[in-house]
Chain A
């Protein structure tokens, strides 16, 4: 055994002990605190289940009208609104209505959570350089670490089901909204801020009347990305028991059901396109003042 050919390493026994030790202490931790943490997330579970039940129980025409209405409000485009409604009808016609409602409720709750957590963190990052340099590597980690690596501890702590699925989705989907909130605020014109200062604005006034409104297009691009990434996680979330369009896809992989996989996969794509187009159009309208178009 020469120094030059083999990199110095822990002995096999030491390494095994180390891994075992960490595993054991995490297991201990989840045994002791798992229930507490689960209880902490109970309101989330409750909300998620309620929304899902509500969406499934609601008569389908009402959902359709809602979808069309929201799509129109967001994009101000009849084409997009009618297209969305048509896509929903087709998905329902092929028997995926309930799964789609489950997926929509998951995505909606995940997006709301990401916005609620992400925007304040982004604001803090833009205000303090130290916070920015502390959080940026964490965001890098969240976006690059293989999903299964953090899926496991989440499952160990919270078991399988909707809430761990939701958390896994959020971990993956929240970085864009944080990053773009931070970036958007930092990109606000220095002179405009100076003017706000010169007239005696305090931090809150500056934040709410200058920085956030001017950063809104960027923040919204972040929200759009977050929605897309949440949708991309639907299949993986189904591996830990989240119902929805991801579940049949997973089954189709396990059982080689080509058509089942394709249909549900296409339904996810349709949802993604609708969410993306509507939110992008809405984001563009937020920038109307930049091009001199009429505001609202």
Chain B
């Protein structure tokens, strides 16, 4: 499989964040292997991020995943410098974000990044329309233009008719639509989403994911999406980075993470997902043995493919990409094998 990487929009190198008064003085000891617990016990400093290296491609959805306390919200706040790093580098479009003056940084936040928050963080004293226009107002855009823009985005997220309501009059899902519209209204190419849908109930969350994916199809923003929910990560992520104790422990194509988990922590993490729905044919196909005949799409999930495979005589199909080029073949056996959980040996042991 050939993965054409678009050029990185955002590059993070050797990023460390140590919370506490004398954070800088502990960077070298952390680099030399001091653990989070040790740092906390001995020096009363909290290790937020530990040597983060990430290359985030342009116009893709990069998911950063981890449990609470893993540093994911800290990481996303470094991108627009709501939190200053202790050490490391951060480049956006080749520009050093950490070298920006306060004035440049404000300009960067106005034009290049925008953010959606877990708890919405809307301005309670402003109407929906004023909230959505907030970023534009800050930039000094003329009121009438800002209003037009905001109404356009309110319509786009399906809130037409609610322009003059106050946030408190809306449900959680609607409030987050306002948050999303506010972030989109500034036309910033980078969208930072900090657990944006985590506070919503499951149905509304799926709804919001659909809205986001629909918009992304058209807008092609570089989205950095924080979540603790693996299903959500798999659903919207083009790329996933998994964080633990402030460190990236695995990063890459979601399919690859599921098929080849880096360690037991990730194995544990992914054991409860619905593999048949998540795994795509491209992950299970045999690339050496190109099949013949009609092909199945390489993005087809096992859930869809299994009945087709089972009902065919040969129990085998070729796999093709969008351009109908033959990539390899898949058969029923390999498809079923892929359904086995990653900690499958343990389970097998139990039934011996």
Known: A197-B82, A214-B124. A290 touches B113 (CB 8 A): no
Residues of B near A196 (CB, < 8 A) are 123, 134, 138
Q: What is the CB-to-nearest-CB distance from A190 to chain B, in angstroms, rounded to a whole number? A: 9
The answer to whether B82 touches A198, judged by C-beta atoms less than 8 angstroms apart, is yes
* Bound-complex Cα distance A292 to B82 (A): 31
The answer to whether B109 touches A289, judged by C-beta atoms less than 8 angstroms apart, is no
Query: How many CB-defined contacts (below 8 Å) exist between A and B?
Result: 71
Question: Does any Cβ of A come within 8 Å of B80's Cβ?
Answer: yes
Q: Which of A189, A199, A201, A292 contacts B186 (CB under 8 A)?
A: A199
A interface footprint on B228-270 (CB within 8 Å = 1, 0 otherwise): 0000000000000000000000000000000000000000000
Which chain A residues (229-281) contact chain B, with CB distance < 8 Å?
A: none
* Bound-complex Cα distance A234 to B113 (A): 56
A interface footprint on B95-128 (CB within 8 Å = 1, 0 otherwise): 0000000000111111101110101011111010
The answer to whether B134 touches A200, judged by C-beta atoms less than 8 angstroms apart, is no
Interface residues on A, range: 20 to 34
Residues of A near B82 (CB, < 8 A) are 194, 197-198
Interface residues on B, range: 20 to 34
Which label, helix, strand, loop or mixed, suits the secondary structure of the B interface? mixed
Q: What is the CB-to-nearest-CB distance from B138 to chain A, in angstroms, rounded to a whole number? A: 5
Residues of B near A198 (CB, < 8 A) are 80, 82, 109, 113-115, 192
* Bound-complex Cα distance A189 to B166 (A): 17
Known: A198-B82, A200-B139, A201-B138. A213 touches B114 (CB 8 A): no
Residues of A near B68 (CB, < 8 A) are none
Question: Does any Cβ of A come within 8 Å of B219's Cβ?
Answer: no
* Bound-complex Cα distance A194 to B73 (A): 13
Given contacts A194-B117, A199-B114, A205-B138, 4 further A-B contacts (CB under 8 A): A199-B182, A209-B134, A209-B137, A289-B168
Which B residues are closer than 8 A to A by beta carbons? 80, 82, 105-111, 113-115, 117, 119, 121-125, 127, 134-135, 137-139, 166, 168-169, 182, 186, 192
Sorted nearest first, the 7 A-B pairs with minimum C-beta distance are A200-B110, A200-B109, A195-B121, A198-B115, A191-B121, A199-B135, A200-B106
